[in-house]
Structure 1
């Protein structure tokens, strides 16, 4: 997969008029939850998606583009389960990719995800420590609320996984990274763990969407990267995760969603995930869903 390649061939003229879609009540948003049968039962405590697929589709605006961050690896790990041996709260990530202009699903698109582990460490960059900011885990468990003064402006010190130039990998580890293709409904499901945190950034998952390429035995070839974004978690879920091992051993200063310098503060459009888990027992597992509206003709590498 070549994130910096541009689409080949002439581009057709896009219909600049956004189709208006009538949302049939509150259940319409739930109808975009994806991959129910594919991911059902993957983790303890996971519940099947029972939303009706016949409800009206929701036409989302363009999902916000963000920086790629320094820890992207074009590894062509074609897999849905990216967990490997990493410990943490089981997370089923259900994404749906649609054309933001036509509201039609994008099938056979390649979706990348990558994120740090429970202690804030990225595979491929273990020598960087916790998110490149130094340190790892261990020590006195956090009390839940962030410690120290909130960051003002851009994070200081070593890259925090949200900005900065690309860093070359320091090792061959590739846990919590993977690529999979969307089905005919534009849906893709990943199995991973709830991310941890590191100094300078809130809890997040990186993602890319590639279109116009070909699926081969070697991976996904060609095409263009039409979306580079980040997926975010609300503060309530992060506080709940901080009470569970191994997150409870992570002593890195935690940045809240409101304090983060990358999160665009615009809810679902900005990548804020819809989460479902058993209250007071997040350790049983979390299901996260989001519909991403992208422009398949655009090039957004985030670099």
Structure 2
């Protein structure tokens, strides 16, 4: 939960990104994959393409929850909707009534790997998070995969996600291990974590006043109303946020430590 500092800066800094003493031995909650996952399309840190929105720098640190050691060379996937609730690759699905037109783009990389496990049931806003759907187009904005460094960090540049029918603002994330990095990307291995990242209500309320978020006419589901958020704070994917409360349009920095079990498989099914 963000708190005001100096009257303008809103920051949740109660845990240093590199201090894991209080976070070791705590697994980050697993959630459903959802219907809009496309595996390893783009190996890149900047996933923005030409999407409008509040700039977001997202830093994730992946650790082994048992040993507290950082996971090096893991592949981290993120994907999320744009400011008006539309997912790339699935523009035909719209935004659940959110309105607004998404940008277009062209697929420039070949996916490596396929989803595994049985898809969950239910619609995108329902309790199951929606079964996997095949892409309807070649757009791939706001999606990317990046390699964790020696300290377990993977940093992405994107925009703050909007919302769509039945869901609060969120980012999907997967962590893959035991695979091989090649010129084509990341191959093999398994997903040891599938989860979602969430935003404190104070920040989302501020985004509603900024274009193009202000053009999203979908009734917004709050964090507490969301059926996917596990309600357990940072262990459940609630991000630590830093932003200027009076000028959130300038950008947001978000971070979280992901505690995973690298020997297990959690593919979101």
What band does the TM-score fall into relative to the shorter chain?
Answer: 0.7 to 0.9
1:239 aligned counterpart, secondary structure: helix
Q: In the alignment, what sits opposite 1:127?
A: 92
Instruction: Report which stretch shifted further, 250-259 or 69-78.
Output: 69-78
- 1:251-266 residue pairs with structure 2 within 5 A? 251-266=217-232
Of the three residues 74, 98, 102, the one matched with 2:67 is 102
Report the Cα offset of residue 279 of structure 1: 1.3
Unaligned runs of 5+ in 2: 1-11, 102-121
Structure (1 or 2) with the larger CA radius of gyration: 1
Q: In the alignment, what sits opposite 1:90?
A: 55
2:15 aligned counterpart, secondary structure: helix
Of the three residues 18, 26, 29, the one matched with 2:15 is 29
Answer whether contact 2:17 2:61 (CA < 8 A) is retained: no
- 1:14-163 residue pairs with structure 2 within 5 A? 29-32=15-18, 57-60=21-24, 61-130=26-95, 133-137=96-100, 158-160=123-125, 163=129
* CA–CA distance in structure 2, aligned partners of residues 27 and 89 of structure 1: 20
RMSD of the TM alignment (CA)? 1.9
Deviations, residues 9-50 of structure 1 (Å, cap 9, x unaligned): xxxxxxxxxxxxxxxxx9882242xxxxxxxxxxxxxxxxxx
Q: TM-score, normalised by structure 2?
A: 0.84
1:222 aligned counterpart, secondary structure: strand
Report the Cα offset of residue 134 of structure 1: 4.4
Unaligned runs of 5+ in 1: 1-25, 33-54, 139-156
- 1:125-204 residue pairs with structure 2 within 5 A? 125-130=90-95, 133-137=96-100, 158-160=123-125, 163-204=129-170
Answer whether contact 2:17 2:256 (CA < 8 A) is retained: no
Q: In the alignment, what sits opposite 2:182?
A: 216
Report the Cα offset of residue 280 of structure 1: 1.4
* CA–CA distance in structure 2, aligned partners of residues 31 and 66 of structure 1: 22
Q: In the alignment, what sits opposite 2:216?
A: 250
Structure showing the higher strand proportion among its residues: 2
Q: In the alignment, what sits opposite 2:243?
A: 277
Number of residue pairs matched by the alignment: 236
Report the Cα offset of residue 136 of structure 1: 2.2
Q: In the alignment, what sits opposite 2:206?
A: 240
